[in-house]
Structure 1
């Protein structure tokens, strides 16, 4: 079996290279790709297709079936049908919900799969894609399939291994500071697809030589609503009321719902309270991250933010936000006005 995630610690590219070498020696009749990392899922799929078809991809030897809209039986029938011009073919079967405990949008007849597993077509490579965190190992079909396929696990990179992966994305004489890496992780998280795109954007901006700094990341990387809420709290922490309201109005202008903003404010203030409590008890950033269920990078920046508040202030903020949430949900006034009043109260 191939376990992509185990190779990430020495660089995602090494994992891809190892898979490429294995495919050069032999292409298996069936693969099962499991995991939630879209980037790795796509990379592995591309490698398998290229190896199986030797780069000759067309409508006659390559087909994709998404089981959200198609039937498994159709895909398997296609797999058993020789290519129009002969030679090898590849069938991609996406959204294999039947391997999990989740409810299927289209109920699949899995009986033909047992027959295919026992006698796969010699001219076809079938790639089953299950973009989920885990499979239901109790199911007979899951057990049967895993016995016969080449399993490729494509899970998100562990946070502890992410710094090195980010550094590897930059070529030439381009370096990235530790602070810039932390800011990038804070803004993007550990989604490899988005991280790779953001690194490419930074590389294009800086050219073949230079240093990617925290300020450059701040300027170039697009902020999510969560990051804008983080910035809003940052302004609140230093009592910059005008700037805080400006960020709020920008969020409202682009169509963010007031109740969603309140929910994110509540989540962030609870996180700051947890960080402050655990930090005062002597917990390290990694221990705090494990306890509250976020990345060490987010704890790093949360710690800085929490230092601007007293414990009593964080408790009061959580109480005020809970009151506002109740008022909004029970229709007690204009939501935008209630939200603006909350920001003013938090900035006292």
Structure 2
């Protein structure tokens, strides 16, 4: 089910017993949670709305709550956040969740309880019995990354509602600094509103001043230098990142991911995939795909493959030897980890 369809059903008071909100877009998830909360009369919310964090709370407590009747109300709402037990990452938590209890509840839910799972993950582990049962019985609502146009419309609407405007170049820079992610943009707006309080116009200088560059953006610039074989400048920028106490393996992992994305985008585009289809197929934010499409045209598949292989060998050297990371990166830039070496 699309989020827009869910909002329509909520407005009409058409509810199912179990919902699963899946995806990485926190802003959309928060809107969904707020819409469900507003369905419970304000005077009943204290007694008939519960929230549980599954990295802290036990499923046994959640289900005990779910099975109890609403307190002087028509229905109760139980919000279950971070259900890590639905993913392949569940071993990271120390809590031992009794998922068999949940499987039994899903098969026979309490009719006056709305169970809302908020899963901020790209995917679930569908090999698990509990995940299979939930996907079979719950109403799945995907809160994946918003499209570029949907993001623009949502941001403009929020800015206008607060009595502000934003210049075109300012919005472009805001997109770059937040990688086009709606949740990150919305988190930055309150600071920008304060800065633009007198003029009511958000300009490029305000974005540059208030919205910091991320490590990924710095490494994106490094990646362009690497792919363009600008050896001296790339080595200088790499050393600057190391001096800023960035981890060499983390830098390399991000570089590998960037080059891999360029390769994937290039291949899928050659097979006739459009930008939106590529984002869906790779489960990557549409803005990252847009940038990758723009940049992948500058490089041949052979060049990208060679750089990718070299970065993988660089990572192997970093993990297996005691040599200085800066020296190893220099060797990589000089071609010592290429196929012919």
TM above 0.5, yes or no, is yes
Q: Does 1:262 align with 2:249?
A: no
- Following the alignment from structure 2 to structure 1, what is the Cα–Cα distance between the partners of residues 268 and 36? 46
- Following the alignment from structure 1 to structure 2, what is the Cα–Cα distance between the partners of residues 175 and 189? 17
TM-score (norm 2): 0.68
Q: Which residue of 2 aligns with 1:175?
A: 166
- Following the alignment from structure 1 to structure 2, what is the Cα–Cα distance between the partners of residues 65 and 246? 48
Structure 1: give runs of 5+ residues left out of the alignment.
8-14
Give the secondary-structure state (helix, strand or coil) at the position aligned to 2:63: helix
Confirm or deny: 8 A CA contact 1:275 1:306 kept in the other structure.
Answer: yes
- Following the alignment from structure 1 to structure 2, what is the Cα–Cα distance between the partners of residues 267 and 116? 38
- Following the alignment from structure 1 to structure 2, what is the Cα–Cα distance between the partners of residues 275 and 212? 33
Structure 2: give runs of 5+ residues left out of the alignment.
337-341
TM-score (norm 1): 0.67
Q: Which residue of 1 aligns with 2:32?
A: 44
Q: Which residue of 2 aligns with 1:93?
A: 80
Q: Which residue of 1 aligns with 2:339?
A: none
Alignment of 1:97-246 (within 5 A): 106-111=96-101, 114=104, 118=108, 120=110, 122=112, 125-132=114-121, 133=123, 136=126, 141-142=133-134, 145-146=137-138, 152-159=141-148, 161-171=150-160, 172-177=163-168, 183-189=173-179, 191-207=181-197, 209-210=200-201, 212-213=203-204, 217=207, 220-235=210-225, 237=228, 239=230, 241=232, 244-245=234-235
Shift of 1:231: 1.7
- Following the alignment from structure 1 to structure 2, what is the Cα–Cα distance between the partners of residues 305 and 116? 47
Confirm or deny: 8 A CA contact 2:275 2:286 kept in the other structure.
Answer: yes
- Following the alignment from structure 1 to structure 2, what is the Cα–Cα distance between the partners of residues 71 and 261? 37
- Superposed CA offset, 1:45-72 (max 9, x none): 23322331415544x5543333344333
- Following the alignment from structure 1 to structure 2, what is the Cα–Cα distance between the partners of residues 205 and 240? 40
Shift of 1:301: 3.9
For the aligned residue pairs, the C-alpha RMSD in angstroms reads: 4.6
Tell me: CA distance 1:47–1:238, structure 2 relative to 1, closer, same or farther (3 Å): same
- Following the alignment from structure 1 to structure 2, what is the Cα–Cα distance between the partners of residues 164 and 330? 49
Give the secondary-structure state (helix, strand or coil) at the position aligned to 2:50: strand
Give the secondary-structure state (helix, strand or coil) at the position aligned to 2:154: helix
Q: Which residue of 2 aligns with 1:72?
A: 59
- Following the alignment from structure 1 to structure 2, what is the Cα–Cα distance between the partners of residues 143 and 324? 41
Q: Which residue of 2 aligns with 1:10?
A: none
Tell me: CA distance 1:62–1:269, structure 2 relative to 1, closer, same or farther (3 Å): closer
Confirm or deny: 8 A CA contact 2:81 2:118 kept in the other structure.
Answer: yes
Shift of 1:240: 8.5
